[in-house]
Amino acid sequence: MLIEFKNVSVEREGRPVLRGLNLSLTERRIGILGPNGSGKSSFIRLLTGLRMPKEGQVLVQGLDTRRDVARIRSKIGFVFQNPDNQIVFPVVSEDIDFGLKRRESNPEARAELARQALEQVGVSHLFDRLVHTLSGGERQLVALAAVLATQPEILVFDEPTTQLDLRLRNRFERHMQALEQPAIVVSHDLDLLRSMDRVLVLQDGLVVFDSTPNEAIGWYVEHCG
């Protein structure tokens, strides 16, 4: 993974949200930590062109989000905090199938890819289930499976464990660690962040600390907890 922020600033409704970011992200697992309103969501939305910088450049594997947004979005799988923002079809298999249509024209092949993705996160039994019958945790795992089915090169997670009970949360962490793709994870789950390779702490739109998980979490607890 190579993601670069070059003097990046972001505004929303005339208010600065992120300021003067200069970063190079190369580690396999990177955590993003910070209090509410610190700019975390804007940070990860910059990666897929869901938000554009007011100043500076965001480069994903050398591609500029201003010019190459379609190619970048084909490389990045984004798992939203609320799975209801991702799941749009009433049946699990239909929802995953929809996301695969641009990559695979054969319906049987798409169905097999959907089954494999659900099996990868341990919920293959949900293939034919109605989405409205699923728990919040099951929906989150289905949303993850739908992203994995498209075989992204980089994964981005926005608060992935907030709707999971302890059993599903622990399962999610095991599955995430087993994924071959590099990942960027925004979370308040400090135990999850301890499994990262690097953790950035955001506060008031700035990266105020950037270090190993234990050091970054310790700084966050002392200064922002």
What is the tens place of the pLDDT at every residue in 32-46?
Answer: 999 988 999 999 999
Residue 54, domain extent:
3-223
- Whether the predicted pLDDT of 5 surpasses 90: yes
Beta carbons within 10 angstroms of residue 21's beta carbon? 24
pLDDT, residue 137, reads 85
The pLDDT value given to residue 8: 96
Give the CATH number, domain containing residue 57.
3.40.50.300
Q: What span, in angstroms and rounded, lies between the C-alpha atoms of 114 and 46? A: 28
Strands (E), the chain: 3-12, 15-25, 29-33, 55-60, 63-64, 76-79, 154-158, 183-186, 198-203, 206-211
Average pLDDT of the residues in 153-178 = 88
For the four alpha carbons of 178, 184, 187 and 191, in that order, the dihedral sign comes to positive
pLDDT digits (tens, 9 = 90+) for 114-124: 999 999 888 99
Instruction: Please tell me whether the overall predicted TM-score, pTM, comes out greater than 0.75 for this model.
Output: yes
Q: What kind and span of H or E run contains 114?
A: helix 107-120
For the chain, how many structural domains are there in total? Answer: 1
In the structure encoding, which two tokens stand for residue 38, read together?
Answer: 């610190």
Average pLDDT over residues 151-165: 90
